[in-house]
């Protein structure tokens, strides 16, 4: 299928090389990787695939650029980030289209991600000049204690395919704000947005070597070599818990600083005193945004037994009106899943739940034809033991199960190894407060279906990860503390 001219021109303007030390170049062993449009399954661009040697060359570039970047005045670093924010805002439509082409999300959502991703540039440009230390007498009065903050050094950033821009800016912006240099490895399925963003950073005046990009189809060996190199000082990873756990083991060898944004299994709890209009709006957002492919996606909808039928009926009616199709088409709410494996996995989870007694209210089988489509699905009466209650669904499937009282809701919600986010719908302030204290998650939406914000500390408890991205916390992931003692100058 021939792409419209504007799409061809946009794709052609994305560099097909690796970015190392300010230069664009091919892979040292000539390897390439194809990038496909999940709405059609067709190859839309072929880009260089880094070798282990290329990965290490990128680390060399980051290491060499580090002293000068760390010594660059905070204001100058802030201004580059701010210019990047302005350029991204000007080119929001191009970035949104590129993301839709390589990842599949509807254009409106892609625009939302550009705005969200851009906020990390603006937020951390504003934080850059505010990194502070402290000075004071020790309790004995015999000395002066000075506490200073320093960039940790060259960082390795690994990002997933589901939010190709925001996951990159959420790491790159605080790293640069803190004075760190980076090597970034985007997901092989969606490298174009990151590459295009790094072209923009160059235009914003970022010096050579500060950000290096190495897309690769051999992430394991390349990452292992980078993590084993003593010049690396930090790993920041967003992706699945199994891969994160493996990387943590490798990072342990070098006792690296790590930030791990891992998987989720969000409970979405609707109490009998909830405003059901708000709850259904929240459910559409928390479940079907990004075609259900979000770590923050509502994985289990736990609904009080007295309102479960009404909630399910209202949600089903809304879901039946969600239009499925290529994300580039107007009005589409459900784009394709990322690949055929994602379609097969989603369907397997649905079949398992149905075999165990769930009923399909809408959707429930893969779509025919081109691309990787699975329709928005509502499953009622999901039974304990169903795999989709313990595994991340990562598809547009709302799994609804009833509960009887608050204690049971809390017990069900916390019965998971994950602890990223929870959603609670209740009109009772006291109950909302109790939920804040009882739910084991790093984030919570109280009567809202989306929580992400550049000014907030994003991150999970339990196996959902370590560390925080965004907020005031985000920059500290890239800073290390030094305490110095000097004698009392008056003694």
Q: Report, as residue numbers or ranges, the catalytic residues.
A: 261, 295
Whole-angstrom distance, CA of residue 319 vs CA of residue 334? 10
Q: What residues contact residue 237 under an 8 Å CB cut-off, 6+ apart? A: 157, 158, 243, 244, 247, 258, 259, 260, 261, 262
Q: Pull the structure tokens for residue 236.
A: 């920041």
End-to-end CA distance of the chain: 81
Residues 13-72 that bind ligand NAP (CB under 6 A): none
Is residue 116 part of the contact set for ligand NAP (CB under 6 A)? no
The number of residues making up the chain comes to: 491
Query: Minimum distance between the CB of residue 334 and ligand NAP, rounded to whole angstroms?
Result: 18
Query: Minimum distance between the CB of residue 158 and ligand NAP, rounded to whole angstroms?
Result: 5
Is residue 425 part of the contact set for ligand NAP (CB under 6 A)? no
Please tell me the chain's helix, strand, coil percentages from 3-state DSSP, rounded to the nearest 5: 40, 25, 35
Convert 334-388 into a string of H (helix), E (strand) and C (coil).
Answer: ECCCCCHHHHHHHHHHHHHHHHCCCEEEECCCCCCCCCCCCCCEEEECCCCCCHH
Q: Pull the structure tokens for residue 487.
A: 């004698």
- Taking CB under 6 A as the criterion, the residue among 131, 213, 420, 475 binding ligand NAP is 420
Binding-residue pattern over the window 291 to 330 for ligand NAP, x denoting contact by CB under 6 A: ----x-----------------------------------
Is residue 182 part of the contact set for ligand NAP (CB under 6 A)? no
- Taking CB under 6 A as the criterion, the residue among 104, 160, 325, 336 binding ligand NAP is 160
Is residue 261 part of the contact set for ligand NAP (CB under 6 A)? yes
Query: Minimum distance between the CB of residue 167 and ligand NAP, rounded to whole angstroms?
Result: 6
- Taking CB under 6 A as the criterion, the residue among 37, 238, 316, 328 binding ligand NAP is 238
Per DSSP, what are the bridge partners of residue 150? 480
Whole-angstrom distance, CA of residue 43 vs CA of residue 486? 62
Output the residue with the shortest Cβ distance to ligand NAP: 239
Q: Which is nearer to ligand NAP, 153 or 263 (CB)?
A: 263
Query: Minimum distance between the CB of residue 475 and ligand NAP, rounded to whole angstroms?
Result: 17
Q: Tell me how many residues contact ligand NAP (CB under 6 A).
A: 28
Q: Which is nearer to ligand NAP, 163 or 425 (CB)?
A: 163
Q: Which is nearer to ligand NAP, 24 or 461 (CB)?
A: 461
Is residue 346 part of the contact set for ligand NAP (CB under 6 A)? no
Is residue 195 part of the contact set for ligand NAP (CB under 6 A)? no
Q: Which is nearer to ligand NAP, 44 or 295 (CB)?
A: 295
**Considering only CA atoms, which of 338, 111, 109, 95 is closest in space to residue 193?**
95
Cβ atoms < 10 Å from Cβ of 484: 12
Q: How far is CA 264 from the centre of its chain?
A: 11
Whole-angstrom distance, CA of residue 459 vs CA of residue 470? 9
Write out the H or E segment, with its range, that includes residue 151: strand 143-151
> Which stretch, 6-14, 51-59, 157-165, 427-435, contacts ligand NAP (CB under 6 A)?
157-165
**Considering only CA atoms, which of 192, 177, 186 is closest in space to residue 470?**
177
Query: Minimum distance between the CB of residue 272 and ligand NAP, rounded to whole angstroms?
Result: 30
**Considering only CA atoms, which of 163, 467, 200 is closest in space to residue 293?**
163
Is residue 199 part of the contact set for ligand NAP (CB under 6 A)? no
> Which stretch, 12-20, 206-214, 235-243, 251-259, contacts ligand NAP (CB under 6 A)?
235-243
Binding-residue pattern over the window 374 to 403 for ligand NAP, x denoting contact by CB under 6 A: ------------------x-----------
* Residues forming the site for ligand NAP (CB under 6 A): 158-163, 185, 187-189, 219-220, 223, 238-240, 243, 246-247, 261-264, 295, 392, 420, 460, 465
């Amino acid at each position: 299928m021939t792409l419209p001219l504007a799409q061809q021109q946009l794709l052609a303007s994305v560099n097909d090389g690796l970015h190392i030390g300010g230069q664009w170049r091919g892979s040292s062993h000539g390897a390439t990787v194809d990038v496909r449009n999940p709405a059609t399954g067709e190859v839309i661009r072929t880009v260089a695939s880094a070798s282990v040697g290329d990965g290490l060359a990128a680390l060399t570039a980051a290491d060499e650029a580090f002293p000068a970047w760390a010594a660059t005045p905070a204001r100058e670093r802030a201004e580059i980030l701010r210019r990047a924010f302005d350029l991204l805002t000007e080119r929001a439509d191009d970035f949104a289209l590129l993301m839709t082409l390589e990842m599949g999300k509807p254009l409106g959502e892609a625009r939302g991600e550009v705005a969200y991703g851009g906020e990390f540039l603006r937020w951390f440009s504003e934080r850059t000049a505010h990194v502070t230390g402290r000075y004071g007498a020790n309790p004995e009065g015999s000395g002066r204690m000075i506490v200073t903050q320093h960039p940790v050094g060259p960082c390795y950033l690994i990002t997933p395919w589901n939010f190709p821009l925001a996951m990159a800016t959420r790491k790159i912006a605080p790293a640069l704000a803190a004075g760190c240099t980076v090597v970034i490895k985007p997901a092989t399925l969606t490298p174009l947005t990151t590459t295009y963003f790094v072209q923009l950073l160059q235009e914003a005046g970022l010096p050579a070597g500060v950000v290096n990009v190495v897309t690769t189809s051999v992430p394991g060996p390349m990452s292992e070599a980078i993590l084993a190199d003593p010049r690396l000082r930090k790993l920041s990873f967003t992706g699945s818990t199994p891969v994160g756990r493996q990387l943590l083991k490798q990072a342990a060898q070098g006792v690296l600083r790590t930030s791990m944004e891992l998987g989720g299994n969000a409970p979405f709890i609707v109490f009998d005193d909830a405003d059901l209009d708000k709850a259904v709006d929240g459910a559409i957002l928390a479940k079907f945004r990004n075609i259900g492919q979000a770590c923050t996606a509502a994985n289990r909808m736990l609904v009080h037994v007295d309102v479960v039928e009404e909630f399910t009926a209202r949600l089903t009616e809304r879901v039946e009106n969600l239009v499925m199709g290529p994300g580039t088409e107007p009005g589409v709410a459900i784009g394709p899943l990322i690949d055929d494996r994602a379609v097969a996995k989603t369907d397997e989870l649905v079949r398992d739940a149905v075999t165990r007694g769930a009923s399909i209210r809408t959707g429930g089988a893969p779509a025919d034809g081109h691309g990787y489509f699975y329709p928005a699905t509502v499953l009622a009466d999901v039974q304990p033991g169903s795999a989709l209650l313990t595994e991340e669904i990562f598809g547009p499937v709302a799994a609804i199960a009833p509960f009887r009282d608050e204690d049971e809701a809390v017990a069900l919600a916390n019965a998971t190894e994950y602890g990223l986010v929870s959603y609670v719908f209740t009109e009772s302030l006291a109950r909302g407060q109790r939920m804040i204290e009882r739910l084991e998650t790093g984030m919570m939406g109280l009567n809202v279906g989306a929580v992400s914000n550049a000014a907030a500390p994003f991150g999970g408890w339990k196996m959902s990860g370590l560390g925080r991205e965004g907020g005031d916390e985000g920059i500290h992931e890239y800073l290390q503390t030094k305490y110095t003692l000097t004698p009392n100058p008056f003694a």
